Structure 1
Amino acid sequence: MALAIATESPLQDDVRGLIAELNATLLELTPPEFCFHMTAEQMAGPETTVFIARDGCEVVACGALKRHDGDLGEVKRMFTRPSHRGRRIGFEIVGRIEALARSEGISRLVLETGDRHPAAWAIYERAGFTRCGPVLDYPDSEWSVFYEKNLQAE
């Protein structure tokens, strides 16, 4: 089937299922106090745009842009189901997030990811993100890796 990526509400049952799978996966790799989840309700807020990838009708991946004060955006809730990894879906979602951020005048994107997510690091680095120190109000811990991308530099 054809893969499609679009902005969608996170409040749909199938998207909630994907978010639950993402949360469970993160809790297998990271202590709960260092998992910075957003609920579907939080993701549905006006400051966040959620991108959903579907293979036919099946939800297979997600990612979101969360807007912060000023011209700062954050990449959140990136996840691709194991059945669909290796197809560059995460890279495509990051591209959509970046395009939306640029269209809104956001000049810098940041993100926090886990210390045990080398596949995620590869996606972010391929998309032009570079490692940096702690961002926003995330604690500096051994469990986190931080990235940033200056959108004005390009």
Structure 2
Amino acid sequence: MTLTVEPGDPRDPAASALLRASHALMESLFPPEDNFFLDIEALTAPHIAFFVARRGGETLGTAALADKGAYGEVKSMFVSEAARGLGVGAALLARIEAEARARNLPALMLETGNLLDAAHRLYARAGFTERGPFGDYPNAASSLFMEKRLG
């Protein structure tokens, strides 16, 4: 079956289940003050484009683009444990980048946990490089900040 990435609703039961799993993982790995995920309702804000990756009827992953005006921020990237290694993360990230380019955003930025090595590799393969904190983020010890210029 073909993998599709399409706009979705974070309140959809399958998407919200993945988001809750992502939040639980972040809470198990990082101190509360270093968890910067958006809650499910916040992902419905007008400046956020939310996407789901599906194969058949199964939702395998989520991702969001927060349009910050001067840049886009990658948020809520999460792939179900069973679907890891199948290209779901790369497909979601490509869709986020396409949306950012369609909005004429000059760059994508993200904050991720320093322990999430698979995520770091995914972002690096997609052309992201490390940078310092941006926006309202503190220079948290458990954060890794990355960006990709879209020029």
Measured against the shorter chain, the TM-score band is over 0.9
Unaligned runs of 5+ in 1: none
- Which shows bigger deviation, 105-114 or 31-40? 31-40
- Measured in 2, the distance between the counterparts of 1:126 and 1:37 equals 23
Tell me the secondary structure at the aligned position of residue 40 of structure 1: coil
The alpha carbon displacement at 1:56 in A equals 1.6
The alpha carbon displacement at 1:52 in A equals 0.3
Given that 2:15 and 2:61 are in contact with CA atoms closer than 8 Å, whether structure 1 keeps it comes out as no
- Measured in 2, the distance between the counterparts of 1:13 and 1:47 equals 22
Matches within 5 A, 1:73-92: 73-92=72-91
Tell me the secondary structure at the aligned position of residue 5 of structure 2: strand
Q: Which residue of 2 aligns with 1:117?
A: 116
- Measured in 1, the distance between the counterparts of 2:3 and 2:102 equals 24
Letter in 2 for 1:51: F
Q: Which residue of 2 aligns with 1:54?
A: 54
Tell me the secondary structure at the aligned position of residue 93 of structure 2: helix
> Aligned Cα RMSD in Å?
1.0
- Measured in 1, the distance between the counterparts of 2:59 and 2:6 equals 11
Given that 1:78 and 1:90 are in contact with CA atoms closer than 8 Å, whether structure 2 keeps it comes out as yes
Matches within 5 A, 1:30-49: 30-49=30-49
Letter in 1 for 2:60: V
- Measured in 2, the distance between the counterparts of 1:143 and 1:122 equals 17
Regions of 4+ moved over 4 Å: none
Q: TM-score, normalised by structure 1?
A: 0.94
Q: Over residues 94-152 of structure 1, what are the superposed CA-to-partner deviations in whole Å (9 max), with x where a residue is unaligned?
A: 11101110111100110000010010001110000100001111110210000011111
**Identity, % of aligned positions:** 38
Q: Which residue of 1 aligns with 2:9?
A: 9
- Measured in 2, the distance between the counterparts of 1:89 and 1:114 equals 19
Q: Which residue of 2 aligns with 1:24?
A: 24
